Structure 1
Amino acid sequence: MLELFRQKMPLSCLLYGLLERCFSAERLDRIFLDNAKEQYTREILFSTVCDLMLSVVLKIHPSINAAYQKHPEPLGVTVSALYEKLKGVELSVSQALLRDTSEDLSAILDALGFIPEPWLPGYPVRVHREVGGGALPGKSLVVFDPERRLMRDVFPCEDGHAQERRLLGAVARAIRAGELWIADRNFCTEGFLNQLRHHGAYALIRLHRNLPLTEQALFSPSRKAKGGGYWKSR
């Protein structure tokens, strides 16, 4: 049967195998053990919880409860205990899960010979996206790689009413030299812009009217040359 699938649907089998490698149970449980500070494993493994959640994300099942009921093997816990396990997943574990698997997925794209079309040649682009939780009172700041269509990092916050600027200190640690960061005006703070400059990165951010900046003309040795402009603190 497996050989038949390999012959008739080679790309589907390849994708399935790559995803299984990336989200293997051993790897998921290692990420949990390395990053969990308070939560522990007793009756149910973190990899099992991820497997159930993935079946909902991929729309195989409409809910966690449905995935629990359809699981081929008894899980040894009640559905209420399963929901408590999900509710207790720590932010550090969620962040490490995204970072780790994003790196692996990027390596898979390289191995498959994927050549992304650059948004701006010579500059790795990073886009800030704010994600509000539909079911939970939280939000996240996501660092998105638009060329590879991958989320590179996530900065979750349990307080859904918190201002995203509270997370910029943590986001600044993800900046790498040469990157171009694109974001809305809420990210246009003097502190964050200074962090971008400190790390040798660039910004394409909508100017916030409360930011104390003035526009300066670029110096040009030739009077005929047309310079652009840049922003400087008052």
Structure 2
Amino acid sequence: MGDLKQHSLIKAQERLRDQVGHALRAALIAGQLEPGRVYSAPTLAAELGVSATPVREAMLDLAREGLVEPVRNKGFRVTEVSERDLDQYTELRTLIEVPTIGIVTRIAPRERLEELRPIAEEIVASAREHDLIGYLEADRRFHLTLLGLAGNERLVETVGDLRKRSRLYGLTSLDKAGLLVSSAEEHLELLDLMLSGDAPAAESCMRRHLGHVRSLWADQADQAK
């Protein structure tokens, strides 16, 4: 019985580590954790209402993903992403996601595509309600689930990693400027095109969507200078 209890505790700790990691990633993408700034595990743990251990473990996971870097005896520094980095990540996503959208449009059953409509609507609703964390989570689920219909798990993992690395620090500014809703509505447009079976149009919409997000970030970054 003792071994089973210990196993249960380990699994619970692993789940908490994943939950903390997800919360920290969302905060990074939304700009709540600022690039270049050092954060200590105890401070973050107090804000999240957990112990420092799962926070340290989650931050080590983020460090392996290149999102933060350890600072000896201080904590973790949020890595900065240059515009060149963002351009390259966007280029990679375009090379992968645009043709994959065409494939999914041709092979995915309509009912599987229709299952994504509530998520697309959730993205729009979150943007209108200024719920950035909700927006990011719904956006992640929509894109990765959609790509998953192509049947290539490694592709989904690769895009998921690119999404983490290409976090947009200007998301809060986009929301305040009222530009996030138009980007959110493109998910419904994409879904409708795919349901119509128009693969070339769906690919064009996906390419425009990725470029739109990148250009909006660049415009907001320039205004902030």
Q: TM-score range by the shorter chain?
A: under 0.3
Larger radius of gyration: 1
The structure where helix makes up a greater share of residues is 2
TM-score, length basis structure 1: 0.25
TM-score, normalisation: structure 2:
0.26
Higher relative contact order (CA 8 A, sep 6+): 2
